[in-house]
């Protein structure tokens, strides 16, 4: 399959394939857009069944990063990298260093970060081979570990959603069902508990749910039950495609606001939620705290500026909701439109400056 004929090719600026016989590296780096700045997005290590599957994933992910960075008002474009292999068996030091050289080959047009299959120790290895890398703990630098600030962004975005849909300035006495109690979900639960929310929680990790029950007085249900819990807000912080043909008609929540990626199985499910008068917080807008941390490290922003930008996610959500109301369109499509307008304006500015 030619890249240009790939179903998920979307005017990508550059798609590069790398093979290193000595290490066994096979990787793809996709740069979707550099309209707003150098393309930034993580490297994923995954045992793809075929090269076509890897290409599909990297094209989708890189485009998603363009929209994520644009909606967060960051001076970054969108890119992504995938390494074909099992992270438990194939992630050797030699392959990571070969991938660092692949990143270098793009001359700074792409900056890599962490994604599925990449750990902090792997970032340290790749950093020996490239300076075009960010999003991990580095002594003397801001940014780094993004879990706490991602949770903060989801929290302020959720509060903006509650304000818009329920008319409440606080989550006190609001019933919120949280699916997933990882770093983001648990951090979100802690902030909501401090504000007086009533929590329902679910996770495959029994220790995590027990901790939430003990610390926050949360009601524990199964990961399947939590989706259809009797609540004001459903907050997905684990699985993707959780909002689909089967789940949307049975939702009881009035608001969907969580940190999980790719919550909508398809774009059309945003319209289904709108038809049911359920307010949906576009996932890539509300969970932008992580990429804001990465940007902070790239551009040496202070911790205060990084936090200020994360808290501005609340304003972003409010702007999306108001425009969605005015236009009568689903919130996910409105978020896409705002991101596209920002990229288009930036491209127009570059062309005007070059003329």
Neighbours of 331 (CB within 10 A): 24
Neighbours of 249 (CB within 10 A): 9
Choosing from 80, 159, 254, 274, the catalytic residue is: 80
Length of the chain in residues, anyone? 355
End-to-end Cα distance, the chain: 37
User: HSE (CB half, 13 Å, CA atoms) of 14?
Assistant: 22
Q: How far apart are CA 67 and CA 101, in angstroms?
A: 27
Q: How far apart are CA 20 and CA 41, in angstroms?
A: 22
80 is catalytic: yes
Helical H runs in the chain?
51-71, 93-105, 120-127, 147-166, 183-195, 206-216, 268-275, 283-286, 289-299, 303-311, 313-327, 331-354
77: helix, strand or coil: strand
Element of type H or E holding 111: strand 110-114
Element of type H or E holding 110: strand 110-114
215: helix, strand or coil: helix
Is residue 302 within 8 Å of residue 308, measured between CB atoms?
Answer: no
Catalytic residues: 80
């Amino acid at each position: 399959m030619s890249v240009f004929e790939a179903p998920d090719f979307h005017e990508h600026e550059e798609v590069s394939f790398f093979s290193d016989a000595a290490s066994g590296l096979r990787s793809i780096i996709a740069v979707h857009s550099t309209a707003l700045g150098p393309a930034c997005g993580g490297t994923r290590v995954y045992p793809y069944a075929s090269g076509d599957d890897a290409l599909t994933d990297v094209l989708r992910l890189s485009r998603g990063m363009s929209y994520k960075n644009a909606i967060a008002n960051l001076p970054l474009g969108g890119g992504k990298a995938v390494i074909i292999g099992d992270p438990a068996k194939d992630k050797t030091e030699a392959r990571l260093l070969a991938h660092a050289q692949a990143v270098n080959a793009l001359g700074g047009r792409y900056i890599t970060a962490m994604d599925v299959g990449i750990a902090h120790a792997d970032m340290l290895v790749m950093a020996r081979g490239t300076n075009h890398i960010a999003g991990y703990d580095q002594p003397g630098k801001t940014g780094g570990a993004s879990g706490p600030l991602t949770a903060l962004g989801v929290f302020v975005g959720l509060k903006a959603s509650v304000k818009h849909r329920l008319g409440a300035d606080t989550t006190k006495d609001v019933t919120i069902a949280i699916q997933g109690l990882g770093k983001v979900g648990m951090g979100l639960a802690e902030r909501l508990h401090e504000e007086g929310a009533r929590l329902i929680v679910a996770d495959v990790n029994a220790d995590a749910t027990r901790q939430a029950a003990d610390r926050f007085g949360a009601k524990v249900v199964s990961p399947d039950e939590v989706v259809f819990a009797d609540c004001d807000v459903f907050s997905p912080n684990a699985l993707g495609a959780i909002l689909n043909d089967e789940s949307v008609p049975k939702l009881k929540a009035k608001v969907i606001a969580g940190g999980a990626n790719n919550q909508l199985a398809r774009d059309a499910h945003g319209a289904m939620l709108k038809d049911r008068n359920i307010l949906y917080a576009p996932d890539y807008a509300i969970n932008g705290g992580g990429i804001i941390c990465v940007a902070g490290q790239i551009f040496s922003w202070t911790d205060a500026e990084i936090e200020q930008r994360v808290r501005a996610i609340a304003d972003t959500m409010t702007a999306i909701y108001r425009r969605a109301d005015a236009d009568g369109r689903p919130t996910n499509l409105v978020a896409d439109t705002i991101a596209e307008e920002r990229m288009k304006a930036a491209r127009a500015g570059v062309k005007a400056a070059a003329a």
